Amino acid sequence: MNNSFHPEFLARYSPLFSEKEFTTFLEYCDKPLRKALRVNTLRISLENFTKRAENNWWKLQKIPYVDTGFFIDRDDKSIPLGKSIEYFSWLFYIQETSSMIPPMVLKPQKWDIVLDVSAAPWSKTTQMSIMMNNAWLVIGNDIVPTRIKALKTNINYQWIIWAATSKLDWRDFWRYFTETFDKILLDAPCSWEWTMRKDEVKWSLSIIKELSSLQKRLINSALQALKIGGTLVYSTCTMTPEEDEIILDHVKKQFWENIIIEKWQLPELQSTEWITEWLWESLDPECQNGQKIWPHINDTEWFFIAKIKKVWPTNTDTQKEYFQRKNEEKIVKGKELKILLSQIKKRFWIEPFYFSDYLIIKKWDIYQIRTKQSNAFSSFPNIQNIWIPFWEDNNNTFNLDFYSSQTFWQYATKNRIVFQDKKQAESFIKWEDIILSNNEIWESTQWQIIVYYDNLALWSSLLQKWWKLKNQVPREHIKN
C-alpha cells in the first residue's frame, strides 16, 4: 500500500513511542488486514459451521476474544466469499476484527433494551442481537435514510426479529428516550485512521477538531438516554486523543459523580492504557481505563474502547414532548388471526404455536410480524421497521414474504424443494433460471415454495409454467 503518512501525524505521535515500536507500528499500518468473519449462531452452531468450512477447504483460526469470530483464509479464491452459498444463507457475516470487540465489551444480555446510536454499517447491531439470542430489543439508529434501509435489510436477512431501526438526530436522542436503555453502544463517527490498512486516509487536524465537538455532544446525549445502573461503551477507530481520552475527560468533568469509567479486559486481547496528559493538560485518572487496541500488537485495526457505568442521573434538561404517529395499523387477533395461521399451516405445515411470542400487525393489505416488546416503541417518533414483512393479501391470495420464509423456514415441512446438485444451488443464488423435473416437485402442492440445499433454506420462490423456478430473492441480495 505504501501509505504516505501526513508529516504532522508523524510529528504528533512518534514521541509517544520508542523509535523501534513506532517503526513497527507504521509497518503494520501498511499491511493488508486479515479477513475475518462472524458466525450467525441464530442459523448454525459453531461446530456445524467449522465442519462446513472444512468441507469447503476454508482455513479458520478462532479469534479468542470474540465468541463467534474467526480469521479465514482460502487457497481457492475463484468464488468470492460473499458469493458462497453459506454467505447467501447468512450463516456468517464478513466483519473486521476490531469492529467485533465493542459489543463483546458491552455484553448485552437477554432482556436488555439496547441502543446502537450510530449503527451504520450495521454489523454491531446484528452482532448484539445475536449475542442476546434474539431476546428483547436492540434499536439501531442512524440519521441517513439510505443507511436505515440497508440496516433493516441486513437485520431481516440475518434472521433477526428482535431488532428495530430509528432515524433520529444522534445529538437529540436523549430528549425522546430519557433513561430508557440498559445498554448503549456509541461507536462514534471519527477520523477513521484505522483505514490506513485498507485505503489512504486524508488526515487533518481540522477534521479531528470538528469530530471531537460532535463526539462530545453524542456522548452527552447517550449518557442521558442510559438508565441508572446501565452501561455505555464508547468506541472509535482512531488513536487521536481529542477523539478518545479527551472525550472521557470531558464527560468526567461534565458528570463527575454520575459515572464511573470501568476497566475492561477480554481474554488474549492485548489492550493498553496510553496517555495521562495531552498538550500539557492532565487528564482525569479514570481516562486510563479506556483502552487502545494496536495493529502491531494484535495484528488488527486500531481501536479505542471505554466502558462507562451510570450511577446517578445525568439529565440536564426536560424530556421533549412529541406527537404520537397516526395509527394506521391494527393487531390481528381472534377469528382473523385463526384464519391467517390456518392458511400458513395449510401452505407449509407450520404450526400456529410457533407464532405465539409475536404480534401480527395488519397495515392496509400487508401483514407484518413483530415482537410484543418492540411494539411498545411503535408510537415513538422516527422509530421505523420494528417488524418483519410477513404475509400479503392480494385478492385473497396469500403469499409468505421472503424475509419471513428466512425466519420461519426451519418449521416448514411441506412445499419444499431440495436441490441435490451444488451447481443447481449456485445457479439459483445467481438469479439464473432453474427448470425442475417432476421428481423434484413431488412435495409441492402450491406455487410458492421454499428452496433448500444441504439443510439450508436458500429462499422462497415461485413455480411458473413448465416447472420453471422463479427466484424471489431481492436483487440487492445478489452480490456483484
Catalytic (active site) residue 237: yes
Rg (CA), the chain: 24
Catalytic residue among 29, 190, 237, 287: 237
Set of cell numbers at residue 51: 465442519
Longest dimension (CA), the chain: 79
Instruction: Provide the annotated active-site residues.
Output: 237
